[in-house]
Amino acid sequence: MLNDKSILITGGTGSFGKKCVQIILERYKPKRLIVFSRDELKQFEMAQEFPESKHSCMRYLIGDVRDKERMYRAFNGVDYVIHAAALKQVPAAEYNPFEAVKTNVIGAQNVINVAIDKGVKKVIALSTDKAANPVNLYGATKLCSDKLFIAGNSYVGRNNTIFSVVRYGNVVGSRGSVIPFFLRFRSNGYLPVTDPRMTRFWITLEQGVNVVLRCLEKMVGGELFVPKLPSMNIMDLANAIAPRCKIKVIGIRPGERLHEMMITKDDARRTLEFKDYYIVQPEFHFWKKRYNGNTGKPVGEDFEYNSGTNPWQLSIEQMKEVLRTL
């Protein structure tokens, strides 16, 4: 699907963006693969890894999703947009709420408007488990972003742009993940744990990219895709990383919760289950014809996709196997 197409990745120098670029270059032959981000140093470093001299499709554009005028230039001739740009550190968003809103909400609105005006075919936006029944500002801004992208299909008019969202859990080894934090701390002889009962959904970077690219291919517009993922208790994770370290319980940080959620009970009535993923369908009834070909099975009314009650739990040995790939 991506051969001879122009693809733009917002936040392209982040953990997801770099892995996405690597996988696209390995599997496809795009006309242009555009890294759009605001950090010139990260772009310089990424250009050493994926140089234009070796990959003629590569383009590196400095820009910010807050800057609508710059995006009008960047989206020229683009077929597909993967929207990965976000301010995602929970404590930082709590302390700098205006900045989180500017990037995660206003930035999403800019992506939608510019994509429609420039005739982009498909836009898929990355979400987070923290957007379901959010308890922190980061989750709240991403929930708002999700709803903007889903409703963006109503703003298209006679254009053919379609928008969908992919929501998944913590990425193993990404910036902001607890795993690099634990790896750095284990030389101290102890690991700081917020609460021993805490659980999280886990996915690797490569799995995350594969999910997004599959959803980009399948999407018809308006879906919120949720892949089926394993969960793990924080104590088991600590034992997988540093079994000899002592545990120091430090208490839950501002904006955190014990268990993460990807589908709420309120969304269950609109959720379809497939073999490897769920789809939360939009509220707008006039889109129903788009989903006539869906073979998904409706979930029960009391269904909730929660990391604490998730039947698929990672063992310590399975996590150790994942960590060896980092």
Catalytic residues: 130
Is the distance from CB of 31 to CB of 6 less than 8 angstroms?
A: yes
Q: What is the DSSP track for 262-293?
A: EE-HHHHTTEEE-SSEEEE--S-GGGGGGGTT
Distances in Å between the Cα of 285 and the Cα atoms of 71, 132, 188, 299 are 32, 22, 56, 19
Is the distance from CB of 251 to CB of 196 less than 8 angstroms?
A: no
First to last CA, the chain: 29
Distance CA 20, CA 26 (A): 10
E strand intervals along 172-296: 190-193, 199-203, 224-227, 231-233, 246-249, 261-263, 271-273, 277-280
The partner residues of 313 in beta bridges, in order of sequence, read: 231
Q: Quick one: CA dihedral 65, 75, 117, 80, positive or negative?
A: negative
Distance CA 2, CA 229 (A): 26
Distance CA 154, CA 163 (A): 10
For residue 123, give the DSSP letter: E
CA dihedral defined by 226, 33, 47, 60, rounded to 10 degrees? -100
